[in-house]
Amino acid sequence: MRLLLVEDDVMVASGIKLGLSDAGYAVDWVGSAERALEVTQTESFDVAVVDIGLPLMDGLALTHALRKNGHSMPVLILTARDALQDRVQGLDMGADDYMVKPFELPELLARLRALLRRSQAATSATLSFGPLELDTAQRQACIRSASGSAQPIELGPREWTVMEYLLLQAPKPANKDKLLQALTGWDKEITPNAVEVYISRLRGKLEPHGIALRSIRGFGYRLELLTS
């Protein structure tokens, strides 16, 4: 998943970015609301984490501007303000969630997972398609048999990102360009051919269990169950 972090404190931003990157997010960081509005005109993000105390335009005004510009991605507000009025104002401006500093990384990750599930109409931390199950909280993948036994599937970090994105979109197809953006941020380069490599690896792991990864020419990929 690709995340936009809007935070003007370099040390705080570095710590958050490191923790989110280790959790599998492709994180792009900007230090101002103005820069955030600029990049969201041309780039696509799955979720945004926005600090309220930004210079010039604050995080609340940024969130309101994003909604006014038609962006529907979930927005999680970070702030040192703990007053009820501040929380209410943030939610009324279009934020989806609100966290008070200081906070623990596991809670931030859990809230982000919940926001992403909500945005994709998923109701559980476990995503499934046929016998395939992906536990996004524990970062474990398995094939569940009819008897209930689970066979683990080993996934590399980028294979996990691709699989999670495909499952969040299923049964609809996943757009290849958006999948590419979910894999990388500004500081990394991944070519469309590299995406094909990860798709090929996943096919080899899924097809023996009756799950196909179909290519849709000019668009992307879709998970399908193989018929016997």
Task: Indicate the pLDDT class of residue 1, thresholds 50, 70 and 90.
Answer: confident
Task: Indicate the pLDDT class of residue 65, thresholds 50, 70 and 90.
Answer: very high
Query: pLDDT tens for residues 124-150?
Result: 678 899 999 999 888 899 999 888 889
The reported pLDDT for the residue numbered 125 is 76
Cα 90 from chain centre? 21
Q: How buried is 7 (Cβ within 10 angstroms: 0-12 exposed, 13-18 middle, 19+ buried)?
A: buried
Could you count the other beta carbons within 10 Å of the beta carbon of residue 57?
15
The model carries a pTM of 0.73
Q: What is the CA radius of gyration of the chain?
A: 19
The reported pLDDT for the residue numbered 137 is 80
Q: What is the mean pLDDT of residues 180-185?
A: 78
Does the structure show a pLDDT above 70 at 202?
yes
Q: What is the mean pLDDT of residues 140-168?
A: 90
Q: What is the mean pLDDT of residues 69-73?
A: 91
183 is written with which tokens?
A: 């894999």
36 is written with which tokens?
A: 């955030």
SS3 category, 118: helix
Task: Indicate the pLDDT class of residue 228, thresholds 50, 70 and 90.
Answer: low
Residues in the chain: 228
Task: Indicate the pLDDT class of residue 187, thresholds 50, 70 and 90.
Answer: low
- Which contacts (CB < 8 Å, 24+ apart) does range 195-204 have? 195/162, 198/158, 198/159, 198/162, 199/162, 201/156, 201/159, 202/159, 202/162, 202/163, 202/166
Does the structure show a pLDDT above 90 at 97?
yes
Give the separation between CA 68 and CA 101, rounded to whole angstroms. Answer: 27
Give the separation between CA 19 and CA 25, rounded to whole angstroms. Answer: 9
Does the structure show a pLDDT above 80 at 86?
no
The reported pLDDT for the residue numbered 44 is 86
Say which DSSP state 69 is in: T
